[in-house]
């Protein structure tokens, strides 16, 4: 697949959640493509639907209507077992709250997805070492999360997301709990990973300074797609 083809296609996706005797619409008829190799931001205020959209793209949740294609496969038609396999093989996640296992070292946290994939011990060691080196944390490999700074914990989370060599990494507000300097370090690290590994990155944020680091920005407001612009600021919709 070349960089101009859509790795992800979100097609008229709506997601509603029941509330008492009615329903709340978190996303309303959202459509957008994500090209392979893109560094893309989903921007908008809290409650705009950013996390809901990432959860749907990541097959953590399913849309109420519409469909999401990954590599041309309609994920809404897959069985739970196939969805689990697709997530394991093609998608990495970086969470706002890091989601590291507190009793594991940095290396063990990064290794965990490879255990699920069933790789050999030698292959796991090689990949973990490469991933930690790529985020500049080789020297901290044996430290538990409570001994790492917030920025270091998020870099471990990035290493964990890329260690399985997924085609797509989804990062939900990955800088929300970081100061600005550390936030830019993490975003630039993800951009470097994209350049080196050709991984597609989609991240959500409400921070306009961080939004400016993306190449393509989609804006959400009250669950609706309200605009798209490129890195240079040209308005495309």
Q: How many domains does the chain have?
A: 1
- Does 122 reside within a domain? yes
> Residue 211 — left, alpha, or beta (φ > 0 → left; ψ -120 to 50 → alpha)?
alpha
Domain that holds residue 81: 6-230
Strand partners, 42: 204, 218
Whether 41 shows a pLDDT value over 90: the answer reads yes
The predicted-structure confidence for 7-27, as pLDDT tens digits, reads as follows 999 999 999 999 888 899 999
The Cα-based distances of 98 to 29, 58, 95, 157, 172 in angstroms read 30, 17, 5, 6, 10
Domain for residue 68, yes or no?
yes
Is 43 inside a domain boundary?
Answer: yes
Report the CATH number at residue 185. Answer: 3.40.50.300
3-state secondary structure of 36: coil
Q: Please, which pLDDT band fits residue 1 given cuts at 50, 70 and 90?
A: very low
- Alpha helix positions (H), 46-205: 50-57, 80-90, 106-117, 121-134, 150-162, 180-197
In a domain, 237, yes or no: no
Task: Name the pTM for this structure.
Answer: 0.90
**Which DSSP helix (H) or strand (E) runs through 228?**
strand 224-230
- With beta carbons less than 8 A apart as the criterion, state whether 167 and 105 touch: no
The answer to whether 92 touches 168, Cβ cutoff 8 Å, is yes
Any domain includes 235: no
Assess if residue 199 is contained within a domain: yes
For residue 217, give the 3-state DSSP assignment.
strand
Residue 168 lies in a domain: yes
In a domain, 175, yes or no: yes
Going by pLDDT thresholds of 50, 70 and 90, the confidence category of residue 118 is confident
């Amino acid at each position: 697949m070349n960089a101009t083809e859509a790795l992800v296609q979100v097609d008229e996706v709506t997601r509603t959640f029941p509330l008492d005797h009615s329903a709340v619409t978190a996303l309303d008829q959202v459509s957008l493509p994500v090209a392979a190799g893109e560094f893309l931001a989903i921007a908008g205020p809290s409650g705009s639907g950013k996390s809901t959209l990432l959860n749907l793209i990541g097959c953590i949740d399913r849309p109420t209507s519409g469909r999401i294609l990954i590599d041309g496969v309609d994920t809404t038609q897959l069985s739970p077992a196939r969805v689990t396999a697709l997530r394991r093989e093609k998608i990495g996640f970086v969470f706002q709250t890091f989601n590291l296992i507190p009793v594991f070292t940095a290396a063990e946290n990064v290794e965990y997805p490879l255990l699920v994939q069933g790789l050999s011990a030698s292959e796991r060691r090689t990949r973990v070492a490469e991933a930690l080196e790529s985020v500049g944390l080789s020297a901290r490999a044996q430290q538990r999360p409570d001994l790492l700074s917030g920025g270091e914990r998020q870099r471990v989370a990035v290493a964990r997301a890329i260690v399985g060599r997924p085609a797509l990494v989804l990062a939900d507000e990955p800088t929300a709990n970081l100061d600005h300097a550390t936030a830019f370090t993490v975003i630039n690290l993800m951009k470097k990973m994209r350049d080196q590994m050709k991984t597609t990155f989609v991240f959500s944020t409400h921070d306009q300074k961080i939004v400016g680091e993306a190449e393509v920005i989609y804006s959400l407001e009250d669950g609706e797609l309200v605009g798209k612009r490129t890195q240079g600021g040209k308005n495309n919709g």
